[in-house]
Structure 1
Amino acid sequence: MDKTVAKLLDYRPKSLTAEIGKICRMNAIHDTPTSTLVIIPIEVENIVGLPCYKKYVYTIPEGHNEYCLETIMFNGVKQEGLPESITNFVEISVYYWKHDYKNYRPLLFEIVREESQYFANYEIGSNTWEPFSINGRVKLYGILAYLNAFFRDIIVLKMDALAGKYFGTNFQFGGGDRLMFVDEFNCSYKRFRRMKHTLYTGSTFRILHLRMKGIYIPFKESVLTTECIEASVYYMCYDKAYKEPLFLELLSHNGPRYYRYDGFCMDRFEIKSLKEYKQEHSITK
Protein backbone atom coordinates (compact mmCIF):
# COMPACT_ATOMS: atom_id res chain seq x y z
CA MET A 1 0.00 0.00 0.00
CA ASP A 2 1.21 3.46 -0.86
CA LYS A 3 2.63 5.19 2.24
CA THR A 4 0.61 8.34 1.57
CA VAL A 5 -2.63 6.35 1.30
CA ALA A 6 -1.77 4.40 4.44
CA LYS A 7 -1.07 7.63 6.26
CA LEU A 8 -4.43 9.04 5.21
CA LEU A 9 -6.25 5.87 6.25
CA ASP A 10 -4.49 5.99 9.61
CA TYR A 11 -5.34 9.66 10.16
CA ARG A 12 -7.17 10.49 13.36
CA PRO A 13 -8.24 14.03 14.26
CA LYS A 14 -6.74 15.42 17.45
CA SER A 15 -9.09 14.96 20.37
CA LEU A 16 -10.25 18.06 22.25
CA THR A 17 -11.91 18.46 25.63
CA ALA A 18 -14.13 21.44 26.49
CA GLU A 19 -14.61 22.28 30.14
CA ILE A 20 -17.84 24.25 30.32
CA GLY A 21 -18.37 26.43 33.35
CA LYS A 22 -14.80 27.71 33.43
CA ILE A 23 -14.38 31.45 33.98
CA CYS A 24 -12.15 32.90 31.27
CA ARG A 25 -11.88 35.71 28.75
CA MET A 26 -9.71 34.27 26.01
CA ASN A 27 -9.94 31.61 23.32
CA ALA A 28 -7.13 29.07 23.18
CA ILE A 29 -6.18 25.43 23.10
CA HIS A 30 -3.65 24.26 25.65
CA ASP A 31 -2.12 21.07 26.99
CA THR A 32 -2.83 19.80 30.48
CA PRO A 33 -0.57 17.63 32.68
CA THR A 34 -2.43 14.58 31.32
CA SER A 35 -1.66 15.63 27.72
CA THR A 36 -5.35 16.36 27.13
CA LEU A 37 -5.96 19.26 24.78
CA VAL A 38 -8.44 21.65 26.40
CA ILE A 39 -10.29 24.30 24.44
CA ILE A 40 -10.87 27.59 26.27
CA PRO A 41 -13.83 29.82 25.32
CA ILE A 42 -14.41 33.54 24.90
CA GLU A 43 -17.00 35.13 27.19
CA VAL A 44 -19.68 37.22 25.47
CA GLU A 45 -21.65 39.33 27.96
CA ASN A 46 -23.60 41.67 25.70
CA ILE A 47 -25.78 39.54 23.44
CA VAL A 48 -28.13 41.46 21.15
CA GLY A 49 -31.72 40.83 22.22
CA LEU A 50 -30.66 38.83 25.29
CA PRO A 51 -29.79 41.38 28.01
CA CYS A 52 -30.28 38.86 30.84
CA TYR A 53 -27.91 36.22 29.47
CA LYS A 54 -24.27 35.63 28.60
CA LYS A 55 -22.57 32.95 26.56
CA TYR A 56 -19.17 31.33 26.22
CA VAL A 57 -18.04 30.69 22.66
CA TYR A 58 -15.69 27.84 21.76
CA THR A 59 -13.98 28.02 18.37
CA ILE A 60 -11.17 26.17 16.67
CA PRO A 61 -8.27 28.52 15.80
CA GLU A 62 -8.07 29.22 12.07
CA GLY A 63 -6.02 26.68 10.19
CA HIS A 64 -6.48 23.92 12.77
CA ASN A 65 -9.24 21.79 11.29
CA GLU A 66 -7.48 18.65 12.52
CA TYR A 67 -9.16 19.01 15.90
CA CYS A 68 -12.27 17.09 16.97
CA LEU A 69 -14.25 17.98 20.10
CA GLU A 70 -14.92 14.63 21.76
CA THR A 71 -15.38 15.28 25.47
CA ILE A 72 -17.52 17.88 27.27
CA MET A 73 -16.83 18.23 30.99
CA PHE A 74 -18.61 20.20 33.72
CA ASN A 75 -17.33 20.29 37.31
CA GLY A 76 -15.00 17.44 36.46
CA VAL A 77 -17.80 15.18 35.22
CA LYS A 78 -18.29 14.08 31.61
CA GLN A 79 -21.55 15.33 30.14
CA GLU A 80 -23.77 12.71 28.52
CA GLY A 81 -26.28 13.03 25.69
CA LEU A 82 -24.14 15.38 23.59
CA PRO A 83 -22.66 14.24 20.25
CA GLU A 84 -19.72 11.86 20.66
CA SER A 85 -17.49 13.67 18.17
CA ILE A 86 -18.08 17.22 17.02
CA THR A 87 -16.23 18.31 13.88
CA ASN A 88 -16.59 20.97 11.20
CA PHE A 89 -18.41 23.38 13.49
CA VAL A 90 -18.31 27.16 13.22
CA GLU A 91 -18.54 27.58 16.97
CA ILE A 92 -20.01 26.03 20.08
CA SER A 93 -21.81 28.24 22.58
CA VAL A 94 -22.95 27.62 26.15
CA TYR A 95 -25.55 30.00 27.62
CA TYR A 96 -25.97 31.12 31.24
CA TRP A 97 -27.90 33.76 33.14
CA LYS A 98 -25.87 36.95 33.13
CA HIS A 99 -25.97 37.10 36.92
CA ASP A 100 -24.65 33.53 37.25
CA TYR A 101 -21.18 34.86 38.02
CA LYS A 102 -19.64 31.46 38.79
CA ASN A 103 -21.34 29.66 35.85
CA TYR A 104 -23.04 27.21 38.19
CA ARG A 105 -26.03 26.54 35.89
CA PRO A 106 -25.42 26.11 32.15
CA LEU A 107 -28.78 26.49 30.40
CA LEU A 108 -28.27 25.69 26.74
CA PHE A 109 -25.60 24.06 24.57
CA GLU A 110 -25.47 25.18 20.92
CA ILE A 111 -23.50 23.68 18.04
CA VAL A 112 -23.33 26.19 15.18
CA ARG A 113 -22.98 24.72 11.70
CA GLU A 114 -25.14 25.60 8.67
CA GLU A 115 -28.05 25.05 11.05
CA SER A 116 -27.71 25.21 14.81
CA GLN A 117 -28.29 22.20 17.05
CA TYR A 118 -29.43 22.81 20.62
CA PHE A 119 -29.18 20.65 23.73
CA ALA A 120 -30.70 21.37 27.15
CA ASN A 121 -30.24 20.02 30.67
CA TYR A 122 -33.50 20.24 32.61
CA GLU A 123 -32.50 18.86 36.00
CA ILE A 124 -30.24 20.24 38.75
CA GLY A 125 -27.41 17.81 39.46
CA SER A 126 -27.91 15.87 36.23
CA ASN A 127 -25.10 15.40 33.71
CA THR A 128 -27.41 14.34 30.88
CA TRP A 129 -28.35 16.69 28.04
CA GLU A 130 -31.23 16.22 25.61
CA PRO A 131 -31.69 17.50 22.05
CA PHE A 132 -33.92 20.56 21.94
CA SER A 133 -36.07 20.49 18.79
CA ILE A 134 -37.38 23.81 17.48
CA ASN A 135 -39.01 25.10 14.35
CA GLY A 136 -37.53 27.96 12.37
CA ARG A 137 -39.86 30.55 13.88
CA VAL A 138 -38.65 30.10 17.45
CA LYS A 139 -36.02 32.63 18.45
CA LEU A 140 -33.18 32.05 20.89
CA TYR A 141 -34.87 34.26 23.49
CA GLY A 142 -37.92 32.01 23.34
CA ILE A 143 -35.79 28.91 23.93
CA LEU A 144 -34.11 30.43 27.00
CA ALA A 145 -37.42 31.75 28.33
CA TYR A 146 -38.88 28.26 28.02
CA LEU A 147 -35.93 26.75 29.89
CA ASN A 148 -36.31 29.29 32.69
CA ALA A 149 -39.62 27.66 33.58
CA PHE A 150 -37.68 24.58 34.75
CA PHE A 151 -35.65 26.66 37.21
CA ARG A 152 -38.29 28.84 38.87
CA ASP A 153 -37.10 27.71 42.29
CA ILE A 154 -33.59 29.18 41.86
CA ILE A 155 -33.20 32.48 43.70
CA VAL A 156 -30.59 35.06 44.66
CA LEU A 157 -30.68 35.47 48.44
CA LYS A 158 -30.49 39.04 49.69
CA MET A 159 -28.47 38.66 52.89
CA ASP A 160 -29.29 42.10 54.31
CA ALA A 161 -33.05 41.93 53.68
CA LEU A 162 -35.00 42.73 56.85
CA ALA A 163 -38.57 41.80 57.80
CA GLY A 164 -40.83 42.18 54.77
CA LYS A 165 -40.45 40.92 51.23
CA TYR A 166 -38.16 41.19 48.23
CA PHE A 167 -37.65 39.66 44.80
CA GLY A 168 -35.01 36.97 45.07
CA THR A 169 -33.44 37.66 41.71
CA ASN A 170 -31.58 40.45 39.97
CA PHE A 171 -32.72 39.82 36.44
CA GLN A 172 -36.08 40.77 34.96
CA PHE A 173 -37.52 37.57 33.53
CA GLY A 174 -39.94 35.87 35.89
CA GLY A 175 -39.08 38.02 38.91
CA GLY A 176 -42.57 37.61 40.35
CA ASP A 177 -42.02 33.86 40.65
CA ARG A 178 -39.24 34.48 43.14
CA LEU A 179 -40.91 36.69 45.74
CA MET A 180 -39.32 36.03 49.12
CA PHE A 181 -40.76 36.67 52.59
CA VAL A 182 -38.50 37.63 55.51
CA ASP A 183 -39.59 37.17 59.14
CA GLU A 184 -37.66 38.16 62.27
CA PHE A 185 -37.26 35.78 65.19
CA ASN A 186 -35.51 35.83 68.55
CA CYS A 187 -33.35 32.74 68.90
CA SER A 188 -32.76 30.41 71.78
CA TYR A 189 -30.42 31.52 74.56
CA LYS A 190 -31.30 35.12 73.63
CA ARG A 191 -27.89 35.49 72.03
CA PHE A 192 -29.07 35.74 68.45
CA ARG A 193 -31.65 37.24 66.20
CA ARG A 194 -32.38 35.70 62.87
CA MET A 195 -34.06 36.70 59.65
CA LYS A 196 -35.85 33.74 58.08
CA HIS A 197 -36.23 33.77 54.28
CA THR A 198 -38.94 31.65 52.64
CA LEU A 199 -40.40 31.48 49.14
CA TYR A 200 -43.81 33.14 48.97
CA THR A 201 -45.41 29.97 47.62
CA GLY A 202 -44.22 28.00 50.64
CA SER A 203 -42.35 25.56 48.41
CA THR A 204 -38.65 24.74 48.49
CA PHE A 205 -36.07 26.84 46.70
CA ARG A 206 -32.43 26.73 45.61
CA ILE A 207 -29.82 29.46 46.01
CA LEU A 208 -27.57 30.52 43.14
CA HIS A 209 -25.58 33.03 45.17
CA LEU A 210 -25.94 35.81 47.76
CA ARG A 211 -26.02 39.58 47.70
CA MET A 212 -25.11 41.92 50.55
CA LYS A 213 -25.32 45.71 50.21
CA GLY A 214 -25.54 45.22 46.47
CA ILE A 215 -22.33 43.18 46.39
CA TYR A 216 -22.17 39.65 45.01
CA ILE A 217 -21.10 36.97 47.52
CA PRO A 218 -20.41 33.49 46.11
CA PHE A 219 -20.40 30.14 47.84
CA LYS A 220 -17.09 28.29 47.87
CA GLU A 221 -18.94 25.39 46.29
CA SER A 222 -22.33 25.53 44.59
CA VAL A 223 -25.34 24.81 46.84
CA LEU A 224 -27.79 24.44 43.95
CA THR A 225 -28.40 20.78 44.79
CA THR A 226 -29.73 21.79 48.24
CA GLU A 227 -33.52 22.21 48.24
CA CYS A 228 -34.05 24.77 50.98
CA ILE A 229 -37.19 24.87 53.09
CA GLU A 230 -35.94 28.11 54.59
CA ALA A 231 -32.73 30.12 54.88
CA SER A 232 -31.89 32.09 58.02
CA VAL A 233 -29.36 34.87 58.52
CA TYR A 234 -28.12 35.12 62.12
CA TYR A 235 -27.07 38.26 64.00
CA MET A 236 -25.86 38.86 67.54
CA CYS A 237 -28.66 40.15 69.76
CA TYR A 238 -26.87 43.46 70.38
CA ASP A 239 -26.56 44.20 66.64
CA LYS A 240 -29.68 46.38 66.61
CA ALA A 241 -28.93 47.79 63.16
CA TYR A 242 -28.30 44.35 61.61
CA LYS A 243 -24.97 45.47 60.20
CA GLU A 244 -22.95 42.29 60.70
CA PRO A 245 -24.53 38.98 59.71
CA LEU A 246 -22.71 36.16 61.49
CA PHE A 247 -23.62 33.10 59.49
CA LEU A 248 -26.20 31.59 57.18
CA GLU A 249 -28.31 28.52 57.91
CA LEU A 250 -29.82 26.53 55.03
CA LEU A 251 -32.55 24.19 56.22
CA SER A 252 -33.51 21.27 53.98
CA HIS A 253 -35.26 17.95 54.56
CA ASN A 254 -31.80 16.57 55.39
CA GLY A 255 -31.36 19.05 58.24
CA PRO A 256 -29.47 22.34 58.60
CA ARG A 257 -26.18 23.34 57.01
CA TYR A 258 -24.21 26.39 58.10
CA TYR A 259 -22.08 28.78 56.07
CA ARG A 260 -19.93 31.76 57.04
CA TYR A 261 -17.83 34.30 55.24
CA ASP A 262 -14.11 33.51 54.97
CA GLY A 263 -13.13 36.86 53.46
CA PHE A 264 -13.78 35.75 49.89
CA CYS A 265 -16.84 33.51 49.83
CA MET A 266 -19.32 31.57 51.96
CA ASP A 267 -17.76 28.35 53.21
CA ARG A 268 -19.50 25.53 55.00
CA PHE A 269 -18.69 24.89 58.67
CA GLU A 270 -20.07 22.80 61.50
CA ILE A 271 -22.00 24.04 64.53
CA LYS A 272 -22.55 21.54 67.32
CA SER A 273 -24.99 23.87 69.03
CA LEU A 274 -25.91 27.54 68.77
CA LYS A 275 -25.21 27.86 72.48
CA GLU A 276 -21.54 27.06 71.91
CA TYR A 277 -21.12 29.21 68.79
CA LYS A 278 -18.27 31.71 69.01
CA GLN A 279 -18.20 34.75 66.77
CA GLU A 280 -15.23 34.48 64.41
CA HIS A 281 -16.40 36.08 61.20
CA SER A 282 -19.07 38.40 59.93
CA ILE A 283 -20.05 39.22 56.39
CA THR A 284 -18.82 42.79 56.70
CA LYS A 285 -15.32 41.96 58.01
Structure 2
Amino acid sequence: MTDPNSAGNTFPSTQQSPMDDKATAETFEKIFFELRKVIVGQTRLLERLLVGVLCRGHCLLESVPGLAKTLAAETLADVVGGSFARIQFTPDLLPSDIVGTRIYRASSETFDVEFGPVFVNFLLTDEINRAPAKVQSALLEVMAEQQVTIGGVTHPVPNPFFVVATQNPIESEGVYQLPDAQRDRFMMKITLDYPTPDEEMTIIDRMSIRAPVPDQVISLEDLIELQDRVDTIFVDRSVAQYAIDVVQCTRTPDRFGLPDLSTVIGLGASPRASLNLVRGARALAMLRGRSYTTPQ
Protein backbone atom coordinates (compact mmCIF):
# COMPACT_ATOMS: atom_id res chain seq x y z
CA MET A 1 0.00 0.00 0.00
CA THR A 2 1.30 3.47 -0.87
CA ASP A 3 1.59 6.10 1.84
CA PRO A 4 -0.44 9.10 0.64
CA ASN A 5 1.75 11.44 2.67
CA SER A 6 5.06 10.21 1.25
CA ALA A 7 7.25 12.67 -0.62
CA GLY A 8 9.10 12.09 -3.85
CA ASN A 9 7.81 11.06 -7.25
CA THR A 10 4.07 11.60 -7.17
CA PHE A 11 1.37 12.99 -9.39
CA PRO A 12 0.09 16.38 -8.18
CA SER A 13 -3.02 16.09 -6.06
CA THR A 14 -5.08 18.03 -3.56
CA GLN A 15 -5.51 16.05 -0.35
CA GLN A 16 -9.00 15.74 1.10
CA SER A 17 -9.64 15.89 4.82
CA PRO A 18 -10.73 12.69 6.61
CA MET A 19 -14.18 14.27 7.17
CA ASP A 20 -14.51 14.89 3.43
CA ASP A 21 -13.53 11.30 2.72
CA LYS A 22 -16.00 10.01 5.31
CA ALA A 23 -18.86 12.11 3.93
CA THR A 24 -18.07 10.98 0.39
CA ALA A 25 -17.98 7.33 1.48
CA GLU A 26 -21.38 7.73 3.16
CA THR A 27 -22.77 9.25 -0.04
CA PHE A 28 -21.63 6.26 -2.06
CA GLU A 29 -23.10 3.89 0.51
CA LYS A 30 -26.47 5.58 0.01
CA ILE A 31 -26.09 5.37 -3.78
CA PHE A 32 -25.30 1.65 -3.63
CA PHE A 33 -28.21 1.09 -1.24
CA GLU A 34 -30.66 2.64 -3.71
CA LEU A 35 -29.15 0.73 -6.63
CA ARG A 36 -29.46 -2.56 -4.76
CA LYS A 37 -33.11 -1.84 -4.01
CA VAL A 38 -33.71 -2.44 -7.71
CA ILE A 39 -30.76 -4.53 -8.94
CA VAL A 40 -30.22 -7.90 -7.27
CA GLY A 41 -26.61 -9.07 -7.26
CA GLN A 42 -24.44 -7.74 -10.10
CA THR A 43 -22.24 -5.93 -7.54
CA ARG A 44 -19.32 -5.76 -9.96
CA LEU A 45 -21.53 -4.22 -12.65
CA LEU A 46 -22.85 -1.50 -10.35
CA GLU A 47 -19.39 -0.64 -9.05
CA ARG A 48 -17.87 -0.51 -12.54
CA LEU A 49 -20.71 1.66 -13.86
CA LEU A 50 -20.09 4.14 -11.05
CA VAL A 51 -16.37 4.12 -11.82
CA GLY A 52 -17.15 4.87 -15.45
CA VAL A 53 -19.42 7.78 -14.54
CA LEU A 54 -16.91 9.26 -12.09
CA CYS A 55 -14.13 9.05 -14.68
CA ARG A 56 -16.28 10.61 -17.41
CA GLY A 57 -15.76 7.43 -19.39
CA HIS A 58 -18.17 5.08 -21.14
CA CYS A 59 -18.89 1.38 -20.65
CA LEU A 60 -19.51 -1.53 -23.02
CA LEU A 61 -21.63 -4.31 -21.51
CA GLU A 62 -21.63 -7.81 -22.94
CA SER A 63 -24.12 -10.47 -21.90
CA VAL A 64 -27.09 -12.49 -23.03
CA PRO A 65 -30.47 -10.68 -22.87
CA GLY A 66 -32.35 -10.28 -19.61
CA LEU A 67 -29.55 -9.54 -17.14
CA ALA A 68 -30.72 -6.03 -16.12
CA LYS A 69 -28.38 -3.98 -18.30
CA THR A 70 -31.05 -1.44 -19.21
CA LEU A 71 -32.47 -1.44 -15.69
CA ALA A 72 -29.05 -0.81 -14.15
CA ALA A 73 -28.34 2.20 -16.37
CA GLU A 74 -31.81 3.67 -15.85
CA THR A 75 -31.65 3.14 -12.09
CA LEU A 76 -28.27 4.87 -11.89
CA ALA A 77 -29.74 7.84 -13.77
CA ASP A 78 -32.65 8.01 -11.31
CA VAL A 79 -30.37 7.89 -8.27
CA VAL A 80 -28.33 10.90 -9.43
CA GLY A 81 -31.25 12.81 -10.93
CA GLY A 82 -30.11 12.54 -14.55
CA SER A 83 -32.12 12.25 -17.75
CA PHE A 84 -32.16 8.86 -19.49
CA ALA A 85 -32.81 7.56 -23.00
CA ARG A 86 -32.51 4.20 -24.70
CA ILE A 87 -31.77 3.58 -28.37
CA GLN A 88 -32.37 0.17 -29.91
CA PHE A 89 -29.75 -0.16 -32.64
CA THR A 90 -30.99 -1.80 -35.85
CA PRO A 91 -29.51 -2.26 -39.35
CA ASP A 92 -31.76 0.47 -40.80
CA LEU A 93 -30.81 3.11 -38.22
CA LEU A 94 -29.40 6.40 -39.54
CA PRO A 95 -26.95 8.81 -37.84
CA SER A 96 -29.68 11.47 -37.79
CA ASP A 97 -31.87 9.09 -35.79
CA ILE A 98 -29.50 9.37 -32.84
CA VAL A 99 -27.91 12.84 -33.07
CA GLY A 100 -30.78 14.80 -34.64
CA THR A 101 -31.43 16.70 -37.85
CA ARG A 102 -32.74 19.94 -39.34
CA ILE A 103 -36.43 20.08 -40.26
CA TYR A 104 -37.89 22.59 -42.69
CA ARG A 105 -41.00 24.41 -41.46
CA ALA A 106 -43.07 25.50 -44.44
CA SER A 107 -45.19 27.82 -42.31
CA SER A 108 -42.21 29.96 -41.32
CA GLU A 109 -39.92 29.01 -44.22
CA THR A 110 -37.13 28.27 -41.75
CA PHE A 111 -35.21 25.25 -40.53
CA ASP A 112 -35.61 24.02 -36.95
CA VAL A 113 -33.23 21.67 -35.19
CA GLU A 114 -34.76 18.41 -33.98
CA PHE A 115 -32.40 17.07 -31.31
CA GLY A 116 -31.83 13.33 -31.15
CA PRO A 117 -31.91 11.03 -28.11
CA VAL A 118 -28.19 11.57 -27.42
CA PHE A 119 -29.06 14.82 -25.66
CA VAL A 120 -29.44 13.22 -22.24
CA ASN A 121 -27.18 12.56 -19.26
CA PHE A 122 -27.38 8.76 -19.42
CA LEU A 123 -27.71 7.04 -22.79
CA LEU A 124 -28.18 3.30 -23.25
CA THR A 125 -27.42 2.06 -26.76
CA ASP A 126 -28.82 -1.44 -26.97
CA GLU A 127 -27.06 -3.93 -29.26
CA ILE A 128 -24.62 -1.39 -30.67
CA ASN A 129 -23.19 -4.02 -33.02
CA ARG A 130 -26.48 -4.25 -34.94
CA ALA A 131 -26.14 -0.80 -36.51
CA PRO A 132 -23.94 -0.06 -39.54
CA ALA A 133 -20.51 1.50 -39.13
CA LYS A 134 -21.61 5.06 -39.95
CA VAL A 135 -24.12 5.00 -37.08
CA GLN A 136 -21.56 3.55 -34.68
CA SER A 137 -19.11 6.27 -35.74
CA ALA A 138 -21.69 9.01 -35.16
CA LEU A 139 -22.26 7.78 -31.62
CA LEU A 140 -18.56 7.39 -30.85
CA GLU A 141 -17.92 10.93 -32.10
CA VAL A 142 -20.41 12.25 -29.55
CA MET A 143 -18.76 10.14 -26.85
CA ALA A 144 -15.33 11.56 -27.65
CA GLU A 145 -16.21 15.21 -28.25
CA GLN A 146 -19.28 15.66 -26.02
CA GLN A 147 -20.96 17.64 -28.79
CA VAL A 148 -22.98 17.26 -31.99
CA THR A 149 -22.83 19.32 -35.17
CA ILE A 150 -26.17 19.72 -36.95
CA GLY A 151 -26.42 21.94 -40.01
CA GLY A 152 -23.03 23.49 -39.34
CA VAL A 153 -23.93 24.48 -35.78
CA THR A 154 -22.30 22.75 -32.82
CA HIS A 155 -24.50 21.76 -29.88
CA PRO A 156 -22.97 20.42 -26.64
CA VAL A 157 -24.62 17.42 -25.03
CA PRO A 158 -25.69 17.70 -21.37
CA ASN A 159 -23.07 17.45 -18.65
CA PRO A 160 -22.48 14.84 -17.33
CA PHE A 161 -22.79 12.57 -20.35
CA PHE A 162 -22.43 8.81 -19.91
CA VAL A 163 -22.96 6.11 -22.54
CA VAL A 164 -23.66 2.47 -21.74
CA ALA A 165 -23.51 0.33 -24.88
CA THR A 166 -24.56 -3.32 -24.94
CA GLN A 167 -23.87 -6.21 -27.25
CA ASN A 168 -25.02 -9.82 -27.32
CA PRO A 169 -22.07 -12.26 -27.65
CA ILE A 170 -24.18 -15.15 -28.98
CA GLU A 171 -25.70 -13.34 -31.97
CA SER A 172 -23.84 -13.51 -35.28
CA GLU A 173 -26.45 -12.78 -37.97
CA GLY A 174 -27.10 -9.15 -38.90
CA VAL A 175 -24.20 -7.98 -36.75
CA TYR A 176 -21.61 -5.30 -37.53
CA GLN A 177 -18.64 -5.96 -35.29
CA LEU A 178 -17.16 -2.93 -33.56
CA PRO A 179 -13.69 -2.21 -34.98
CA ASP A 180 -10.78 -2.21 -32.54
CA ALA A 181 -10.38 1.57 -32.86
CA GLN A 182 -14.00 2.08 -31.82
CA ARG A 183 -13.90 -0.41 -28.96
CA ASP A 184 -10.88 1.50 -27.68
CA ARG A 185 -13.15 4.50 -27.07
CA PHE A 186 -14.86 2.69 -24.21
CA MET A 187 -13.20 2.96 -20.84
CA MET A 188 -14.07 -0.62 -19.94
CA LYS A 189 -15.90 -3.70 -21.11
CA ILE A 190 -18.00 -5.44 -18.48
CA THR A 191 -19.09 -9.06 -18.94
CA LEU A 192 -22.18 -10.09 -17.00
CA ASP A 193 -23.09 -13.55 -15.74
CA TYR A 194 -26.35 -15.17 -14.69
CA PRO A 195 -27.63 -14.59 -11.13
CA THR A 196 -27.26 -17.31 -8.52
CA PRO A 197 -30.35 -19.38 -7.56
CA ASP A 198 -30.75 -17.34 -4.35
CA GLU A 199 -30.48 -14.07 -6.26
CA GLU A 200 -33.02 -15.26 -8.79
CA MET A 201 -35.45 -16.12 -5.99
CA THR A 202 -34.98 -12.61 -4.58
CA ILE A 203 -35.71 -11.16 -8.03
CA ILE A 204 -38.97 -13.13 -8.22
CA ASP A 205 -39.99 -12.06 -4.70
CA ARG A 206 -39.34 -8.38 -5.39
CA MET A 207 -40.96 -8.20 -8.80
CA SER A 208 -44.02 -10.29 -7.92
CA ILE A 209 -45.34 -7.58 -5.59
CA ARG A 210 -44.35 -4.19 -6.98
CA ALA A 211 -41.21 -3.13 -8.78
CA PRO A 212 -39.07 -1.13 -6.32
CA VAL A 213 -38.44 2.52 -7.11
CA PRO A 214 -35.08 4.07 -6.14
CA ASP A 215 -34.83 7.43 -4.39
CA GLN A 216 -32.63 10.20 -5.70
CA VAL A 217 -29.53 10.52 -3.51
CA ILE A 218 -27.54 13.32 -5.15
CA SER A 219 -28.04 15.95 -7.83
CA LEU A 220 -26.22 16.29 -11.14
CA GLU A 221 -24.25 19.17 -9.63
CA ASP A 222 -23.13 16.86 -6.82
CA LEU A 223 -22.10 14.24 -9.38
CA ILE A 224 -20.02 16.77 -11.32
CA GLU A 225 -18.33 17.77 -8.05
CA LEU A 226 -17.53 14.11 -7.35
CA GLN A 227 -16.10 13.76 -10.87
CA ASP A 228 -13.83 16.73 -10.18
CA ARG A 229 -12.74 15.20 -6.88
CA VAL A 230 -11.58 12.03 -8.62
CA ASP A 231 -8.69 14.03 -10.07
CA THR A 232 -7.53 14.94 -6.56
CA ILE A 233 -7.00 11.32 -5.47
CA PHE A 234 -3.32 10.66 -4.81
CA VAL A 235 -1.49 8.40 -7.30
CA ASP A 236 2.07 7.40 -6.49
CA ARG A 237 4.52 6.87 -9.34
CA SER A 238 4.82 3.20 -8.41
CA VAL A 239 1.08 2.73 -8.92
CA ALA A 240 1.22 4.49 -12.29
CA GLN A 241 4.19 2.31 -13.26
CA TYR A 242 2.19 -0.78 -12.32
CA ALA A 243 -0.58 0.32 -14.70
CA ILE A 244 1.98 0.91 -17.45
CA ASP A 245 3.49 -2.55 -16.89
CA VAL A 246 0.04 -4.16 -17.21
CA VAL A 247 -0.50 -2.40 -20.54
CA GLN A 248 3.02 -3.13 -21.75
CA CYS A 249 2.43 -6.80 -21.00
CA THR A 250 -0.39 -6.84 -23.57
CA ARG A 251 2.04 -5.56 -26.22
CA THR A 252 5.18 -7.56 -25.43
CA PRO A 253 4.17 -10.46 -23.16
CA ASP A 254 7.47 -12.25 -23.84
CA ARG A 255 9.33 -9.50 -22.01
CA PHE A 256 7.28 -10.20 -18.89
CA GLY A 257 7.77 -13.96 -18.98
CA LEU A 258 4.29 -14.66 -20.37
CA PRO A 259 4.92 -15.94 -23.91
CA ASP A 260 1.64 -17.90 -23.98
CA LEU A 261 -0.31 -14.63 -24.04
CA SER A 262 1.03 -13.90 -27.52
CA THR A 263 -1.33 -16.52 -28.94
CA VAL A 264 -4.47 -14.98 -27.40
CA ILE A 265 -3.73 -11.24 -27.71
CA GLY A 266 -4.17 -9.95 -31.23
CA LEU A 267 -3.39 -6.31 -30.52
CA GLY A 268 -1.84 -4.66 -27.49
CA ALA A 269 -3.64 -1.98 -25.48
CA SER A 270 -3.16 1.67 -26.42
CA PRO A 271 -1.87 4.45 -24.12
CA ARG A 272 -5.53 5.26 -23.49
CA ALA A 273 -5.63 2.04 -21.46
CA SER A 274 -2.87 3.30 -19.14
CA LEU A 275 -4.75 6.56 -18.60
CA ASN A 276 -8.00 4.75 -17.90
CA LEU A 277 -6.39 2.31 -15.48
CA VAL A 278 -5.06 5.21 -13.41
CA ARG A 279 -8.34 7.12 -13.61
CA GLY A 280 -10.27 4.01 -12.68
CA ALA A 281 -7.97 3.38 -9.71
CA ARG A 282 -8.64 6.92 -8.50
CA ALA A 283 -12.40 6.52 -8.79
CA LEU A 284 -12.36 3.10 -7.13
CA ALA A 285 -10.28 4.48 -4.26
CA MET A 286 -12.81 7.26 -3.72
CA LEU A 287 -15.70 4.76 -3.87
CA ARG A 288 -14.00 2.81 -1.08
CA GLY A 289 -13.38 5.85 1.10
CA ARG A 290 -9.67 6.36 0.39
CA SER A 291 -7.80 9.48 -0.74
CA TYR A 292 -5.02 7.43 -2.34
CA THR A 293 -4.69 4.55 -4.79
CA THR A 294 -3.14 1.11 -4.44
CA PRO A 295 -2.13 -1.43 -7.11
CA GLN A 296 -4.99 -3.68 -5.96
Q: TM-score normalised to the size of structure 1?
A: 0.21
* Higher RCO (CA-CA < 8 Å; seq separation 6+): 2
Query: Going by fraction, where is strand more abundant, 1 or 2?
Result: 1
The structure that has the greater radius of gyration is 1
